[in-house]
Amino acid sequence: MKRRHHRGNVISFVTNGGKTTLAKNLQKHLPNCSIICQDDFFKPQSEIETDKNGFLQYDVLEALNMEKMMSAISSWKENARCSVVSTDRESAEEIPILIIEGFLLFNYKPLDSIWNRSYFLTIPYEECKRRRSTRVYEPPDSPGYFDGHVWPMYLKHRQEMQDITWEVVYLDGTKSKEDLFLQVYEDLIQQLAKQQCLQVTA
């Protein structure tokens, strides 16, 4: 019997770094691929705390229902186990792939054992602020919100990543969508090939 590993590939990012676009492009080209988006697990605005400046604290783990997200990941893993047909040789196309994309993935310890490959998209302050200014949020950003909350929280979480013990592939978010896609796609294909070679036959 083959031992199959149903693990996730993570794409994390600085806000407005392009991770959702990258994840969707990968899903289009990778067989048997699913996406779980951390943004889908924000708590209602009524449950979001504010700081002394009146800024809503969205860029913290407490603003997210991470238990619900973990439940979604567990459900995917169970479905992946049931959907893979046992064959003498498992092809790369048969390996279930889960892309988990979000902005606070490396800062949540229960996720540490899930990652198979980790990517972190980053862009400079000026470009990040420019991109965010073009987006429409609900609730909308209050004056000074980016400099008073969003960017400081990103720097704080980035500092916390210094304690990570596994490899993280850092991506330049200023590159074109096509270049980023090709970089990650080719890397994932290589990782899938390695995983196929490492399948254990008992």
What range defines the domain where residue 153 resides? 9-85+94-194
Residue 179 — very low, low, confident or very high, per pLDDT cuts 50/70/90? very high
Residue 103 included in any domain: yes
Query: 175 in a domain, yes or no?
Result: yes
- Give me the number of domains the chain comprises: 1
Residue 147 in any domain: the answer is yes
**Which of 1, 13, 9, 11 shows the shortest CA–CA distance to 127?**
13
Q: Catalytic pick from 39, 51, 112, 179?
A: 39
What pLDDT, in 10s, does the model give residues 161-178?
888 888 889 999 899 999
Here the CATH number for the domain that contains residue 42 is: 3.40.50.300
How far apart are alpha carbons 52 and 54 in whole angstroms?
Answer: 5
CA 15 to chain centre: 12
List pLDDT tens digits, range 109-155. Answer: 898 888 888 898 888 999 999 999 998 888 899 999 999 999 999 99
pTM: 0.84
Q: Is 40 a catalytic residue?
A: no
- Flag whether 101 is in a domain: yes
